[in-house]
Structure 1
């Protein structure tokens, strides 16, 4: 064997080329940017050659400072072994990016088209949960045309059907607050949910679907906040995340079973975060996030870290589970 052949035989494999997509054309653009930067930075450069793609608020794609027509952006995606679509909210988490990857024939991390669309739609998620026998907050679905006919009778939460990070979400404690709350929600979506207020502890459960069909559920996380968990509390540092959430065995089992049932019924893949209220009558489903916040300080990575799986290890597992075999 020549020296050149010996060197080639012992050389480490080339890093796997992966694309990390952040930003997005929605109200969660900045949060998605933070998640994507954190994900790209955490991927081991010895294992991964990371291509960082950004979707601007105007929908334009970029690599660094260079703008890309959509066709060129798709070509970049196709040059990668896998894509991590770290875009929260509409035109991303709702199955849009999954559909683009499907059409481009590129493997991608996370839920597919149908699961993303269903989970993003809070009304559809309620219907799925109710079919499973999982409680949800009583709610009314309104459109812009019918919103003026809604008569306020008790405290409610008003929220867009398809938005995240608590954008457009308002607590309405008196009738005079209702018009502004409906206007804020309708500015982000043409459908709005008006939900009864649920009194309970806010507990999140993460589910990771593995390549072999298994399911991993790390310790649950309780969100403790003075007031309610709105956008300012989520991103202003006002929330206390307690892991593991202090739960009785019966409560923990009920939450995990409900989270797994919803994850499977929606057809989720990769990681999803299932948010509940824990009440004296049992868990009440709040919502499902198929692309939750994903910095190292976000809820899902913290839950898996509590289970012994570091942020970098979690990302590595997510990518390796979708790489072509």
Structure 2
């Protein structure tokens, strides 16, 4: 019997349009012989399921069902394709836990933890994982640029603590740019991180659960035309993504070992894609994405393809792992 799958997409953050693209790719590639997929838009103004003609049906939030042609449709599993709030930060997953729905992401606490950059760094540092030096600020805190520079140096990065897709990130070379970057970051989040610049090669590593085991996917090196891997570089063609990365076998072994260790340390399951900077051959952890981009051009699907895993296989594995 075919499983009913809700592919949730959209969300409440700046990443809504990127999420819709990812969700539609999942919808396109799911095997119709095994699944009956429905696109479900989770938006600030509405929660609706869409039929094949994109007609909308309101979601009953009591049990996450909807009615079509006088028939109630319930779901066997939810495929989470929401980047940012509320899909990647654990909020929606806590709701699914309450109503008893299985989903393709990690448990809600792990999702909340990894969405918070500061808290994630605090955990991995305890396990000896190298990271950048950082300063943490809440909106309203006194800003002392001299103290910030004394700790993290110049240039430095200013990031929203809870955001993705490089929204609100700036690179600062002086005090004035730090203040401007803080202002930009606060538009995305009331908590921000200011991190030291790591001078090295940037790589991205997908780690997933695949056929019952943790699998580290081929590593991608990111070479950007811009000053750093910002939104324009990620989504507007201003970067080159090389998979597999052209790194030494020693570097590859180190990165793979650390990527798997971070996945285990954070008690992850489902999808993840983490970013590292190689400084003198040593990987430094930046952050983890637990709902990475899932379009044909996104990094994790590129890595899966190099590993011999098609998009259909990748998405089916996520669903079957969740159902088990």
Is the Cα contact below 8 Å between 1:61 and 1:73 reproduced in 2? no
Q: 1:130 aligns with which of 107, 125, 130?
A: 125
Following superposition, the deviation at residue 54 of structure 1 comes to 0.4
Which residue in 1 is equivalent to 2:80?
85
Which residue in 2 is equivalent to 1:103?
98
Which residue in 1 is equivalent to 2:69?
none
Where structure 1 has 5 or more consecutive residues not aligned to the other structure, the ranges are: 1-13
| 1:67-126 residue CA offsets vs partner (Å, 9 max, x unmatched) | 626526712498111100110112110111211111111111021111101110100111
1:248 and 1:78 mapped to 2: Cα distance?
52
1:204 and 1:258 mapped to 2: Cα distance?
12
Is the Cα contact below 8 Å between 1:78 and 1:106 reproduced in 2? no
| SS in structure 2 at match of 1:135 | coil
TM-score by length of 2: 0.91
Following superposition, the deviation at residue 59 of structure 1 comes to 4.8
Following superposition, the deviation at residue 55 of structure 1 comes to 1.5
1:53 matched to 2:43? no
| SS in structure 2 at match of 1:297 | coil
| SS in structure 1 at match of 2:65 | helix
Change (3 A) 1:256 1:68: same
Which residue in 2 is equivalent to 1:219?
218
Which residue in 1 is equivalent to 2:22?
35
2:205 and 2:296 mapped to 1: Cα distance?
17
Q: 1:71 aligns with which of 30, 36, 61?
A: 61
| 1:158-191 residue CA offsets vs partner (Å, 9 max, x unmatched) | 0000100000000111222222211111111111
Which residue in 1 is equivalent to 2:238?
238
| SS in structure 2 at match of 1:102 | helix
Map residues 172-211 of structure 1 onto 2, 5 A cutoff.
172-210=172-210
Note the aligned Cα RMSD (angstroms).
Answer: 1.8
1:139 matched to 2:125? no
| SS in structure 2 at match of 1:240 | strand
1:194 and 1:100 mapped to 2: Cα distance?
32
| 1:238-266 residue CA offsets vs partner (Å, 9 max, x unmatched) | 21111110121211111111111111111
| SS in structure 1 at match of 2:273 | strand
Which residue in 1 is equivalent to 2:8?
21
| 1:21-70 residue CA offsets vs partner (Å, 9 max, x unmatched) | 000001111110110011111111121101110022x2521223536265
| 1:257-288 residue CA offsets vs partner (Å, 9 max, x unmatched) | 11111111111111111110111050000110
Q: Name the stretch that deviates more: 97-106 or 301-310.
A: 97-106
Following superposition, the deviation at residue 19 of structure 1 comes to 0.5
| SS in structure 1 at match of 2:143 | helix
2:201 and 2:192 mapped to 1: Cα distance?
24
| SS in structure 2 at match of 1:271 | coil
Change (3 A) 1:70 1:24: farther
| SS in structure 1 at match of 2:124 | helix
TM-score by length of 1: 0.90
| SS in structure 2 at match of 1:148 | coil
| 1:122-172 residue CA offsets vs partner (Å, 9 max, x unmatched) | 001111111110111100001112153343532210000010000000011
Q: Name the stretch that deviates more: 243-252 or 299-308.
A: 243-252
| SS in structure 1 at match of 2:78 | strand
Is the Cα contact below 8 Å between 1:19 and 1:80 reproduced in 2? yes
| SS in structure 2 at match of 1:107 | coil
1:289 and 1:59 mapped to 2: Cα distance?
26
1:148 matched to 2:134? no
| SS in structure 2 at match of 1:241 | strand
